[in-house]
Amino acid sequence: MVIFFGTLVSFYLSSFFTYQPKHYFVLSFVNAFVAAGMLLIGVRALPAIVLALIVHYVLFVDVAIGYAVLFSLVLPIPPILISQIHLKVIKHVKQQSSVLLMSSVYFLLFGLALPMLQTSLLLFVSYLSKISLSLEFMLLSSSSVALTHMILTPIIFLALSVLFGVGKSKYIALDEQIFEMNSTVWSYRVWAGVLLVTLGSIAIVPESMLLYSLWFFFLVTVFVGIGRFGIIRPMVLGLLVVGVMLYNATAKVNDAWGYDDRYVGLIEVLVAFVVLAYIHGSSTIRSFILSQEKIHNERTDPYTGLYNLAQLKDDVANCKKPILVFLDLWPTLSKLAGIGYSGQTQLLLQITRSLFTTRSDIKRAYRPPFTTGVLFILPMTDNVQRELVSISAMLDEFQFYWKGTSMSLVSHTLHCFPLPNDEDLDAKISTFCDQPYYAHQKILWFDDSEQSTPRMSRLLKVQHAIKHNEFVLYCQPYRHLHNSHSGSHFEVLLRLHPADGSQLEPAEFFPMVNEFGVEEQLDKWVIENTFKLLSENLLQWESINRCAINLTAKSLGDDELASFVLRLAEKYDIPLGRICFEITESAALENEAQAIATVEELKLAGCTIALDDFGTGYASFAYLRRIPVTVLKIDGEFIRNLPTNPTDRLIVESIHLVANNMSLVTVAEYVETEAHADLLREIGIDYAQGFGMAMPLPLDEHIKSINVSVGI
C-alpha cells in the first residue's frame, strides 16, 4: 500500500516540475520513487508500482487502457533494470568495504547508464506515439534523469528505510557519528546562521542574476557542510535548494512555451554540482570509516574483540558517576589451562554476551592488560546494589560451552569501585584489578583507602611472616554423614597473623606465596608444625580418624618430600595412618612422574592420599587412573547449589558411583546447610565439610576439644 499510494503521490509532486511543451517531468519523483522502492525491497515492489501507473494513466491522464498498460509496463523498465543490476553489483563490491567504489557504481549506473537507457526508451515511446522529439530535448531528458537519481532517489530511499524500519538506525547512526566527529557547536551554528541569512536575502531580492547568485552561494554553503555536519542534513537542504531553483526555472520556460538553452545549462550545472557533492560525500564517509576502523583496531583486543583502557577512559569521561566493575576469571581460567587461548577467548566472549543480554545499559566490556578478567561500567543509581546482585545471579547460572561440554564458573567476585571523573584512571585500574581472590564474597566494594598500602605492603608482610614464623595453624572439622561416633576428621588450614596485629586472609597472601616461589618451604613448615602440635597436645591418637594436610603441586615434585615426612613422623612419634595428604587439582603437577613416586612412597608408609577439588581441575578422572588416591574430595562448585540444581545432583551421584566402585572415600566440600547434608547422605557421600558443618578454628583449640570429648 505504501508503494502504491507513494507512486501516485509522486506523480502529483512531479507535476510541479513538468516541462509543459513535452509534458515531461524535469524532476521526476515517480522515477526516483520507483528506483528507491526497487532498491529497498526488490521485485516485491513491482506489482504495486505497475498498478499505480495504470491507475494514474487511466484516471488522471485519460489514456486508453491499452496504452496505459503498455506505458505502465514499459516506462518502469529502466529504473527497475538498473536497480536490480545495482543490487547485484553492490552485493559483490560490498565485500571490499569500499565506500568510494560503491558510490562510483551508483554514479555509473544511475548517473550515466540510466539516463541513456531512459532517453532511449523515451525515443521508443515517442515513435509509437508518433511524437517528434528534438536533440535539445534528448539532452534535457538525460540531464534531468541524472539529476533526479543523483539527488532525489537517495532521499526517498532514506525516507522509505525509516518508514519500513530497514537500516533506519544504521543510516541515522552513521550520520550522527560523522556529525559528532567532524563538527563543533560553534561551527554548526555559524554554518546554520549563514544559511539562514542567505535564505532571508533570497526572500527579499527580486528576480535577477543576484538571486541566482544567492541560490548558488546557498548551494556552495551546503556543499561545505557535507561531511562536516553529517550527510543527511546537507543532502536534504541541497534537495530543497535544487527543487526551488528548478521549479522557478521550469515555470519561466513554461510561460515562454519554448526551449531555452539557459534552462538546460542550469540543469547541467546542477548535475555537475551534485556529482562533485557525491565525490566529496563519498570521500568523507570513506575517511570516517577508515578512521573508525583505525580507532577500533587501536582500542580492541585482536583475539577477544574486547575494548582496552583507551576506550574505557573515553567512556568514563562521558558517564556521570561511573562504577567500575571487575569480574576476575582467574579461579576458572586457572583450572582450564588445557583449553588454550581459543578456549579462554570463547569464555570471555560468552560471558560478555551474557552481560549484554542481562543489562541493556552495559554496552562495552573491557580487558585490562595483564589480568584474567573483564571490566565494565555501571552508572551509580539508588538500585545499584540490587543490579549487582542480579548480575551475580546471572553469573551463578552461567554455563561455559566448549567442544560439546559445559561448565559453570568456579566462583566469582564482582569487585566494584565508584570512580570520580577526575581520577588517574591508569593508577586506579592497576591497583583495582589486582585484587586477591575471595572465594565466598560475590560482591566486594573496593576500599580506596587501601590504595596507600597495596600489593607491595602485602608482599613485605608475607616475606616477614616467613622469616619470623608468623603463620598460625587453623583447622576445619568435617562430619561423618553415616556414623556420628567416628573419630575426629579435620583439614589443617593456614592463617597469617603478623606481629603488628593486622591480619591477611589466605586469598591475600597465597598469591604472594606463589609469586615468591616458597610453596615448598611453606608446605614443610605446615607439616612440621602440625606434627609438633599434635605430638605435644594430643593425648590419645585413637580420637583422631584423619588429619588432612594440603600439598601444593610444586611440593609434590620435590624428590625429598617423602623422606622429609618420614623423618618428622619418627621425630614426633606420629602414626602416619592418621595423616592424610591432600593433592589439589586446581594446579597442574609440574613433575607428574615424581609426584606419583612421592605419593606412592607416602601411601606405602601408611598415609592416606586425597584428591582435592575433584571435578573442576586439570586432570579429574585421569588422575584417578595414575595416582593411588584413597579419598575423593568433591569440589564445592557442585555442592553449593545441590538442593536446587538437578544437574549438580546428577554429577555428584556420578562421582559417588565411580568412587564407590573404586572403593574410595568421598568428602563433599562447601556444605553450608543441613539440607545439603541430608541430600549428600541420601546419595551416599561419606563426609561433609563446610561452614554448615563446622567453622574454622585454631588447631590447638580443636585438639583441646578432642581431649575433652574423650574425657581426658
| DSSP code of residue 416 | E
pLDDT at 591: 73
Alpha-carbon distances, residue 586 vs 411, 510, 618 (angstroms): 13, 13, 7
Q: Which residues of 328-339 are buried (b: 16+ CB within 10 A; e: fewer)?
A: bbebbbbbbeeb
| DSSP code of residue 339 | G
Amino acid at 488: S
Question: What is residue 355's three-state secondary structure?
Answer: helix
Give domain limits for the chain.
Answer: 2-294, 309-452, 457-709
Pick from 499, 505, 500, 518: which is nearest to 474 by CA? 505
Alpha-carbon distances, residue 602 vs 182, 539, 582, 613 (angstroms): 73, 25, 12, 20
Question: What is residue 505's three-state secondary structure?
Answer: coil
Question: What is residue 558's three-state secondary structure?
Answer: coil
Whether residue 584 contacts residue 545, with contact meaning beta carbons closer than 8 Å, is answered with no
Model pLDDT for residues 53-91, shown as the tens digit of each residue:
888 878 877 667 877 787 778 777 888 888 888 888 887
> How do strand 687-688 and strand 471-480 relate by DSSP bridges?
antiparallel
Whether residue 355 contacts residue 347, with contact meaning beta carbons closer than 8 Å, is answered with no
pLDDT at 656: 92
> How do strand 697-698 and strand 631-634 relate by DSSP bridges?
unpaired
DSSP codes of every residue in 217-240: HHHHHHHHHTBBTBSHHHHHHHHH
- Record the cell numbers describing residue 425, joined without a space: 584512571
pLDDT at 590: 62
How many angstroms separate the CA atoms of 155 and 150, rounded?
10
pLDDT at 247: 85
49 HSE (CA, 13 A, CB side): 25
Question: What is residue 502's three-state secondary structure?
Answer: coil
Place of cell 509509437: 128
Mean pLDDT by 10 residues, the chain (712 residues): 88 86 81 87 84 83 75 79 85 66 82 82 68 69 85 87 72 80 83 88 78 84 84 85 85 75 81 83 81 80 80 80 84 75 83 83 80 83 85 87 81 81 66 69 71 55 72 91 84 81 70 72 91 91 91 85 93 93 68 86 92 70 80 89 90 91 92 92 93 91 86 56
Q: Which residues of 191-226 are buried (b: 16+ CB within 10 A; e: fewer)?
A: beeebeebeeebeeeeeeeeebebbeebbebbbebb
Whether residue 72 contacts residue 45, with contact meaning beta carbons closer than 8 Å, is answered with no
How many angstroms separate the CA atoms of 67 and 73, rounded?
10
Pick from 684, 678, 679, 651: which is nearest to 666 by CA? 684
Strands (E), 631-686: 631-634, 665-668
- Record the cell numbers describing residue 656, joined without a space: 559417588
Amino acid at 245: M
Whether residue 637 contacts residue 673, with contact meaning beta carbons closer than 8 Å, is answered with no
Pick from 25, 260, 248, 19: which is nearest to 136 by CA? 260
pLDDT at 198: 87
Which residues, in sequence order, are bridge partners of residue 697? 475
- Record the cell numbers describing residue 81, joined without a space: 533494470
Give me the torsion for CA of 551, 555, 559, 564, rounded to 10°.
Answer: -60
Whether residue 366 contacts residue 306, with contact meaning beta carbons closer than 8 Å, is answered with yes
Alpha-carbon distances, residue 291 vs 182, 297, 298, 308 (angstroms): 12, 10, 10, 17
pLDDT at 601: 92
How many angstroms separate the CA atoms of 491 and 473, rounded?
10
Topology (CATH level 3) of domain 457-709: TIM Barrel (3.20.20)
Pick from 572, 533, 583, 581: which is nearest to 698 by CA? 533
Whether residue 606 contacts residue 576, with contact meaning beta carbons closer than 8 Å, is answered with yes
Q: Is the dihedral of CA 350, 352, 353, 355 positive or negative?
A: positive
Angle at 345 between CA 343 and CA 348, to 5 degrees: 115
- Record the cell numbers describing residue 196, joined without a space: 539562514
Q: Which residues contact 53 (CB under 8 A, 6 or more apart)?
A: 7, 68, 71, 72, 75, 76
pLDDT at 502: 65
Q: Which residues contact 437 (CB under 8 A, 6 or more apart)?
A: 328, 330, 331, 413, 507, 511
Report the helix count and the strand count for the chain, using DSSP H and E: 29, 17
C-beta neighbour count of 545 within 10 angstroms: 16
How many angstroms separate the CA atoms of 510 and 115, rounded?
78
DSSP codes of every residue in 41-93: HGGGGHHHHHHHHHHHHHHTS---HHHHHHHHHHTTHHHHHHHHHHHHHHHHH
Identical topology for domains 309-452 and 457-709: no
Topology (CATH level 3) of domain 309-452: Alpha-Beta Plaits (3.30.70)
Q: Is 115 exposed, middle or buried (0-12, 13-18, 19+ CB in 10 A)?
A: buried
Model pLDDT for residues 594-616, shown as the tens digit of each residue:
888 999 999 999 999 998 888 76
563 HSE (CA, 13 A, CB side): 3
How many angstroms separate the CA atoms of 53 and 698, rounded?
93
Q: Is the dihedral of CA 675, 676, 678, 682 positive or negative?
A: positive
